[in-house]
């Protein structure tokens, strides 16, 4: 395999030193050789020979691809407007680099605006499983706006990302080592999977029914078509059926039982296929992550045993997956989709003290259950249950 490349993102008008430091630590890794590219997502130009993708070029390319008219003066844009614009441009650029196979991991560091830009590029420009790590001042709080359903690894910066010192150097060096390790692990797994596919191809070829020997024909017709068809069928059979499932503590026994059946030898014999369950914790982000994979075509079926995220959306709990929960499997017409009502009778809140006053008062008549110090559950009433459906 060629030497991997890690993309380093930063707002180089304010965080050039930190961005260059991360890049230098990756390049000097003693056990894993990597190249780097640097992408500047800052507001004001900061020329430097190490910057591979400048902000001006990102924006120019974005406007050229989208046919959107660029603003007359980027500096006249509000911070929010510029952040939204450069987030879209960076996302498109990162997606293009990944599509060409030019990058194998991504890392960045930022404050609130930098985190919003870098997280958007990671979240919306790259698939699940691609190594992503973000050092952020915002990583020790509500991170849902940044991560959503993506697999972004967040590292709290402790100090602000504003200068190099004994502590920030250590944290940024850890980030560089971590993303290099993620890339190494991903490439090792890719190599294992490639070797496994080669073995399966060899086994399929050996199991295929041979055609007539010596005349270049097979039972399927000209040029070995029958053998190719048998090989294709064997390969399809070897690919597991990926089943998304939703789970809460309350529904764990049911989910475990379904998983056991799907992965049992008896089920494999009966169906002729292997099944690979992927279980998602119904925490809002979990439901969105599952539906993200459905839209990406990475799941073949969904067993939606835990639909409590719908209740949180309707009633006002904290673990809602948004108003479009359950839409993705419906969009995938023909995809098997089994829905149950697991945990739909509960609304989720944080610690007991965070339950809204109208429900948290002793005289409210609501049934509350302290699941643990961080989670409080409220039983739905009849009207709420009707609204959930």
Strand pairing report for 217-218 and 221-222: antiparallel
Q: pLDDT of 262-295, one tens digit each?
A: 999 999 999 999 999 999 999 998 999 999 999 9
Q: Which residues contact 16 (CB under 8 A, 6 or more apart)?
A: 10, 46, 48
Q: Of 40, 49, 53, 50, give the one whose Cα is nearest residue 13.
A: 40
Answer for the pair 346, 250: CB distance below 8 angstroms, yes or no: yes
pLDDT for residue 230: 61
267: number of CA atoms within 13 Å, CB side?
13
Query: How far apart, in whole angstroms, are the C-alpha atoms of residue 352 and residue 368?
Result: 9
Q: In what order do the strands lie in the sheet with 5-10?
A: 35-40, 5-10, 105-110, 132-136, 153-156
Q: Of 249, 278, 18, give the one whose Cα is nearest residue 151.
A: 278
**Interval 59-69 mean pLDDT:** 87
pLDDT classification of 75: cutoffs 50, 70, 90: confident
Report the predicted TM-score, pTM, of the whole model to 2 decimal places: 0.79
pLDDT for residue 234: 61
Query: How far apart, in whole angstroms, are the C-alpha atoms of residue 4 and residue 185?
Result: 12
Residue 376: alpha-carbon gap to chain centroid: 28
Report percent pLDDT > 90 for the chain: 76
Q: pLDDT of 83-134, one tens digit each?
A: 999 999 999 999 999 999 999 999 999 999 999 999 999 999 999 999 999 9
**Interval 30-37 mean pLDDT:** 92
Q: pLDDT of 181-200, one tens digit each?
A: 999 999 999 989 888 877 77
Q: pLDDT of 287-318, one tens digit each?
A: 999 999 999 999 999 999 999 999 999 999 99
């Amino acid at each position: 395999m060629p030497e991997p490349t890690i993309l380093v993102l930063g707002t180089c008008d304010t965080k050039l030193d930190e961005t260059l430091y991360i890049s230098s630590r990756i390049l000097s890794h003693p056990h894993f050789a990597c190249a780097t590219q640097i992408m500047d997502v800052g507001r004001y130009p900061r020329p430097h020979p190490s910057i591979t993708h400048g902000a001006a070029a990102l924006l120019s390319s974005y406007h050229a691809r989208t046919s959107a008219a660029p603003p007359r003066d980027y500096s006249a844009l509000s911070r929010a407007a510029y952040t939204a614009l450069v987030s879209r441009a960076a996302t498109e650029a990162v997606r293009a680099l990944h599509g060409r196979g030019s990058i194998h991991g991504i890392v960045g560091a930022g404050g609130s605006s930098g985190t919003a830009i870098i997280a958007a590029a990671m979240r919306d420009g790259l698939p699940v499983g691609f190594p992503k790590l973000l050092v952020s001042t915002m990583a020790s709080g509500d991170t849902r706006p940044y991560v959503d359903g993506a697999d972004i690894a967040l590292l709290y910066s402790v100090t602000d990302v504003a200068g190099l010192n004994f502590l920030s150097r250590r944290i940024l060096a850890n980030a560089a080592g971590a993303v290099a390790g993620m890339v190494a692990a991903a490439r090792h797994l890719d190599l294992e999977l490639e070797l496994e596919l080669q073995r399966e191809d060899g086994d399929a070829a050996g199991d295929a029914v041979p055609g007539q020997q010596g005349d270049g024909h097979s039972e399927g017709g000209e040029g070995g078509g029958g053998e190719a068809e048998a090989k294709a069928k064997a390969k399809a059979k070897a690919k597991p059926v990926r089943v998304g499932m939703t789970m809460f503590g309350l529904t764990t026994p049911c989910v475990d039982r379904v998983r056991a059946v799907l992965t049992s030898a008896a089920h494999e014999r009966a169906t002729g296929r292997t099944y690979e369950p992927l279980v998602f914790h119904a925490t809002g982000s979990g439901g969105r992550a599952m539906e993200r994979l459905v839209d990406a075509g990475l799941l073949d079926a969904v067993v939606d045993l835990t639909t409590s995220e719908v209740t949180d959306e309707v009633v006002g709990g904290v673990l809602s997956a948004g108003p479009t929960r359950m839409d993705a499997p419906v969009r995938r017409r023909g995809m098997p989709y089994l829905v149950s009502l697991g945990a739909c009778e509960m609304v989720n809140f944080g610690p007991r003290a965070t339950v809204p006053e109208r429900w948290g008062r002793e005289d409210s008549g609501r049934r509350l259950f302290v699941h643990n110090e961080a989670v409080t559950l409220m039983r739905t009433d009849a009207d709420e249950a009707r609204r959930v459906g």
